[in-house]
Homo-oligomer: A and B are copies of this chain.
Amino acid sequence: ADAAAIAEARAHQDRLTKPRGALGALEDVAVRLAGASAVSPPPLPVPPALAIFAADHGVHARGVSPWPQEVTLQMVGNFLAGGAVANAFAAQVGASVTVVDVGVAADLDPAPGLRISKVAYGTADMSRGPAMTVEQATAALEVGITVARDLVGEGARCLVTGDMGIANTTASAALICAFTGHDAAAATGRGTGADDETLERKIGVVREALRANGLVGAEGGPSRAPALETLAAVGGLEHAAIAGFILGGAACGVPVILDGVIAGSAALAAAALAPAAIDHCVAGHRSAEPGHAVVLDHLGLRPMVELELRLGEGTGGLLAHPLVCAAVRAMHEVATFDSAGVTDKEA
């Protein structure tokens, strides 16, 4: 982050016709984006573009989700038909929607709005060994980087992460344990609606996956495995692609609004690969998944929205976009005490 732009942004906030600090966390996000973009005020993050990375998970066979695997494919169809919540929220905030098949366990027909960049027909079962080879994880990362670069090339000035993949909160939980050292019980949640029995099984499967891949850190700390190997071992193809999407967005210099726990666990991988990329990230919301709070705390990110969403698809990230926009817009449009002739109590 650019220290001079941060200092200038903070000073500018204090000249605006409002009590100092009165915009709370919105002032902080605008200042952070000034640092990331190295200019104050930072550019307005419009238009936004949502990319929904879809993939399947071998670990689904272990009974970690109440939903059948084919729902991944069915929901891709729903996104392309404009019928999902992500479509409604994208329309609300003026975001384009791109669906990326990075690993759905079925062949998809070409369609407008769909990018077929399939690396594999889903991952292998991580509870028995690596979910992906390092080559597959790298290929999925590259898919994300390319999508980010292409969307920015087409005019997007803000990227929003989205995901679809039945069982992907199980992979997220394992990534969170490996990267932060938290126990599976603290990082694993009910996802899209696991009952008590399924949740218990899911926690056990996460523990198995960590052991099977040698990702249990010494004395309960994080694993010392290289980030890319960790991502390959217990991540999903969409997690790897989202990590790449974050890296690509950061490289292009645009803000990346993270959705929920899937994006958060992918951001842990991105942070391990290139810590400065997180300067470009805004936590769109904090989901109901317990592991998401662990992620946000680990990355030091304050969520914009806290409404107990647990849907994914990018919905929480989309909801945050108008808030991020408002934070930046205030820096562009609000008068200063001097220019407006308003008495400043601090002056």
Contacts and interface: CB of A to CB of B under 8 A. Distances in A.
Contacts of A325: 92
A85 B15 CA distance: 12
Select the residue from A78, A88, A308 with max chain B CB neighbours within 10 A. Answer: A88
Contacts of A342: 71, 74-75, 77-78
A43 to B, nearest CB: 15
A309 interface: yes
Contact of A335 (B83, B192, B307, B340): B83
A134 interface: no
A326 interface: yes
Interface residues of A, number: 61
A333 B97 CA distance: 15
Contacts of A307: 23-26, 304, 323
Contacts of A17: 75, 78, 83-85
Select the residue from A22, A340, A345 with max chain B CB neighbours within 10 A. Answer: A22
Integer count of this chain's copies in the complex:
2
Contact of A68 (B82, B308, B343): B343
B87 A19 contact: no
A313 to B, nearest CB: 8
A16 interface: yes
A186 interface: no
A91 interface: yes
A304 B305 CA distance: 8
Interface in A317-347: 318-319, 322-323, 325-326, 329-330, 332-335, 339-343, 345
A317 B306 CA distance: 16
A220 interface: no
A18 interface: yes
Nearest to A83: B335
11 contacts: A17-B85, A19-B311, A20-B193, A23-B311, A23-B315, A24-B309, A74-B342, A83-B335, A88-B332, A319-B323, A319-B326
